[in-house]
Structures are given as C-alpha cells and as structure tokens.
Amino acid sequence: MAYDDLRDWIAALDRAGELKKIRTEVDPILEIAEITDRVSKKITWGQPPSAVRPGEARQPGGPALLFQNIKGHPGAQVLINQFGSARRMNLGLEVDKLDQVADRIRQFMDVKSPQGFLDKVKMLPMLAEMGKFFPKTVSTGPCKEVIRRDNFSLDYFPILQCWPKDAGRFITLPCVVTRDPKTGKRNVGMYRMQVYDPHTTGMHWQRQKVGAEHYREQLRAAANVGVRVPARAAVDIMARSSGGSVLADGDRPTGKMEVAVAIGTDPAITFSAIVPAPPDVEEYLIAGFLRQKPVELVKCETVDLEVPATAEIILEGHVNLEELRTEGPFGDHTGYYSLEDLYPVFHLTCITHRKDPIYSTTIVGKPPMEDGWMGKAVERIFLPLMRLTIPEIVDINLPVEGVFHNLMIVSIRKSYPGQARKVMNAVWSLGQAMFTKCILVVDEDVNVQDIGEVTLKVLNHIDPERDIQFMLGPVDSLDHASRLPNYGSKMGIDATRKWSSEGFTRPWPDEILMDEKTKALVDRKWKELGIE
Ligand SMILES: Cc1cc2nc3c(=O)[nH]c(=O)nc-3n(C[C@H](O)[C@H](O)[C@H](O)COP(=O)(O)O)c2cc1C
Ligand SMILES: [Mn+2]
C-alpha cells in the first residue's frame, strides 16, 4: 500500500511511534538544526560513535520531528529526520529489510528469455507489475490548491539556516526536476538551494550530476546557435564535448533552462531523487517501482515540466544560462563546511502549494545523521546492480564516517591474479562510485560489516608499497583536500591474500581458530565454570 503523499507518510510514522510533534516555539535559524542534531545522534548515547552504524537494525535512532510552532511562521509545520533510523527507512520503502528491495530488483534482472508458451505465461504477472511503475499525468492535484503567480515569496516558508557559518537559509530536501533537451527525458535530483532573496536561489547541482548535464546540453545548444556563454560555463561544455571554442566572460546569452522543484513528497519520490541511477532512468519510474504504484504528475503553470501531484510545495522557474553566482559556504555531510563556489541561479516564476503546506527538510553535518540512513539504503539496493558488472563482489560497506565517497570496503570471491585491482577500477568506473577516495578490497571470508575484523585482516595482509594503487580522476565536489576542486587522487588497497601467481611465494599462515571438539566441550561446561 503506497503512501499517497507526505501527510499519509507522517500519519504512518505517527502510528508506528516514530514521530514526535513539538508544540514549543522554535527558531528555523539554527535552533531546529541543533535539536535535530541531538536527536540524530541519540543513537550514539551511551555508545562510542564508532560502534554505531546505520544498516544495523538494532540501532534505534531518534524519532522523526514535526515542529508545529515555528518562530515567525504562524501555522507552519516543519518535518525533519523522516528517514533518520533503519526502521523508518524500511517503513518509508514499505519493507522489513532493505534486502527485499534488492531482491525485487534481482527478480526483474533474472528474467531469462522465455523458452515456450508456458514460460511466456509465467512472465505475465511481472509485465503487469511493471506497468505499475510508469508515472501518469493527471489533470490536477493537491499541489495546486494555492497558485501564486504574482504574489509569491520564499519568505512564506520556514526554510532553515542549519549551521552558524552557513551563507544563509538553504532548501535541503528539494526534488529538482529538469528535462534533457535532446531526449526529452526528465530527471529528478536532490540538489540544495541557497535562498538569495524571496524569488531567487542557488542551484547546487554538482558538475557530474544529471541536472548539471541538462544545463550543459542547453549551453551546447545555445552555443550552436551563436549565443555567447561565459568562459567558465564554456569550460564545462568543453570538458564534455569536442569542438567549439572557449568564449570570453561578459558575453550575455539569452538562453534559459526551465526547472521545477517539489518539496514534501511521499517517501518513495523523495528517496528516488538521491538514488544514483543511470542518467537515462527517470526517477519517477524508480519511485513507481519502489512504491509499486504509479507516481501521479501534474503539469506546471509556467514551465513545461511535470511534478508530483500531491507534493506540499512546488517552485517553478528557470536558470539563466549565462549566470553563475557564489554559493555556500554550507555545513555539509562531510562534517565540514563546503567551500564557496560558483553555481547557476534559480529564478522563481510561480509557487503552487497545498493549503497549510508542511515544509519537509533535513540537515546534514557530522555523521551519523539522517542522510546516513538514506545512504545505507542506497548501498543495500545497489549491491545487486553492482554485481551485474562486477559479479565477484560478495558484499560492500560504506561506513557512515566515510561519508559515502571516502571509503568503500568490498569483499570479493577471488579467482584470478590481479582481480582486486580489476574490482577497484570497475568501482571507479561506476556512476557516482567514481568518487570513492579509498577502496579496500578483501577476500570473501572477511565480514565487511565488521570494522574490527576489517582492520585486523586488512592491516595484517598488506605490504603497503606493493598493495596500494593510486589513481587520478574525478573526485567529489565536497572533497576539500584534493589538489584541485573536483580532481585529485584516489587509493585502492588490495588486502586480499596474495597468491604465488601474483608473485607472493612466502607461505601464508593459518588464521587462529579453535577446533570444534574443544569448543563443544567448553560450551557444555560453560555454566559450571561460573564465570557469568
Ligand atoms: C540531503 C541530501 C542533499 C544533497 N545535496 C546535494 C547537492 O546539493 N548537490 C548535489 O550535486 N548532490 C546532492 N546530493 C546528492 C544527490 O542527490 C545524488 O547524487 C543524486 O543521485 C543526484 O541525482 P542525479 O544522479 O539525477 O543527478 C544530496 C543528497 C542528499 C541525501
Ligand atoms: Mn538521475
């Protein structure tokens, strides 16, 4: 039973005892962030932070919070930390274990070509199920309850400032909808938006993301019809295409790119916007797959885009192709402020919203936080997809303190010399996994979910000079240590047992394990020993 909308989801959280309603007045500037930070880290109370890992169901996690008395915004409500525990992440995707989502993906990938009539008949339920994934456009929906074409302002919403040195207020959980001008396909990505004034925000799609590529496609098209674009933007184009020339700053093109933003959607849609799917797979389809019911879309008022019909708030507008503006700093999920940089600017042309809209948001900062649980869900769901191209992978772990792009631990079934290095290169070639700063490859007998075991075995097994591989390439925009923004080095550690065919001719010692007979003997006598 899919959630109809954010309100249906909030009601489900409430029924499950996962929601705390807060009537005390709170300030959207810093105060909500401080409260939420403490609640996110409630999972660490009484435990060292390193003992806490999203993905472990036994970790409870503090509740989702619905603030109902916001300073300066009478009547407004703010939802935060909706995904901030393993249980809520499962509840949001309507599963008991995230592996169930992975299993459903595997079923669809497992389809063999039908051998006869009976095989074809067996496929029918699956085909019928697939029909449910595709979004459908409806004539209107709750997001159109209030349409503000002239008298709109972002000041109307209780948008948070999260950290003291943030450049201002940021919309942190927006589903940003764009269209590929070439294929007409839509993309939904979660890219934060800094509020510059009541009608203008930043558009923080990092250059390797799909929204940024749609923007570059528009720039390319503009360049082809002789429109001039500034050098900085042109460099972005040049980075991805041959031909054309770098143009001088100060030339003003006329191009615009339409953008729509949905805030406060049902959990499947919100989650789909962060999923690192291949560029051509529309997130509305992913959301339909996750909720097993089509996403209903409505047309925007002022731009040619479709948005979820039941969203709480829709922002419509455009990005001017020539315009870049300083964005940030912003307290980010690395635990540090991401530095100022130039990004496109979003100009609003219309706001539509439900009556008494609920503003849905999140904060990021030092892990563990809400986004850690979302990241763990991505890790579990993507494992079967990674295995499609890297079949030797047994399991992966992206520890939350590794902030997704800094550390991936991979266990493999090793069958030939040099395979660990092949796996590193394969991971670095996979979509957003390209950013992984450090990849640790271990044999299949290592439980990658157990950091203690990983530390013991990895460090025992490596000869660092021999086993560490450096690689230059794209790095995450949030990396503050790389030699250049977005470009730097990455490291792979081959911590698998080395074979003689890899030039290792010394004997390899046995791991210490007690024999079964003695273990059984001690099991029997354990009580009698009176130790516990
Ligand atoms: C809370 C949250 C905030 C995020 N903010 C940004 C952001 O500001 N810029 C960005 O490029 N990616 C951001 N991401 C990551 C993207 O949403 C993610 O890479 C997604 O796959 C992008 O979609 P795309 O592949 O369609 O471009 C954020 C993720 C989360 C969970
Ligand atoms: Mn996408």
**What percentage of the chain has pLDDT greater than the value 70?**
91
| CA-closest residue to ligand 1 atom 26 | 189
**Residues 5, 332, 476, 479: which is the catalytic one?**
332
Distance CA 415, CA 501 (A): 11
Q: Catalytic: 332?
A: yes
In tens, the pLDDT along 405-448 reads 999 999 999 999 999 999 999 999 999 999 999 999 999 999 99
How confident is residue 92, by pLDDT bands cut at 50, 70 and 90?
very high
**362 touches ligand 1 (CB under 6 Å):** yes
Could you write out the three-class secondary structure of 364-418? CCCCCCHHHHHHHHHHHHHHHHHHHHCCCEEEEECCHHHCCCCEEEEEECCCCCC
Q: What angle do CA 330, 199, 169 make, to 5 degrees?
A: 25
**374 pocket-lining for ligand 1 (C-beta < 6 Å):** yes
Ligand 1 pocket check for 157: Cβ under 6 Å: no
Report the range of poorest mean pLDDT among 65-79, 116-130, 231-245, 322-336. Answer: 231-245
Q: Name beta bridge partners: 344.
A: 324
CB 187 near ligand 1, within 6 Å: yes
Alpha carbon of 5 to ligand 2 centroid (Å): 21
Ligand 1 binding pocket mutation candidate from 160, 190, 216, 476 (most atoms within 8 A of CB): 190
> What does the pLDDT look like over 134-185, one tens digit per residue?
999 999 999 999 999 999 999 999 999 999 999 999 999 999 999 999 999 9
pTM of the model: 0.92
Ligand closest to Cα of 330 equals: 1
d(CA 372, CA 135): 28
Burial of 23 (0-12, 13-18, 19+ CB in 10 A): exposed
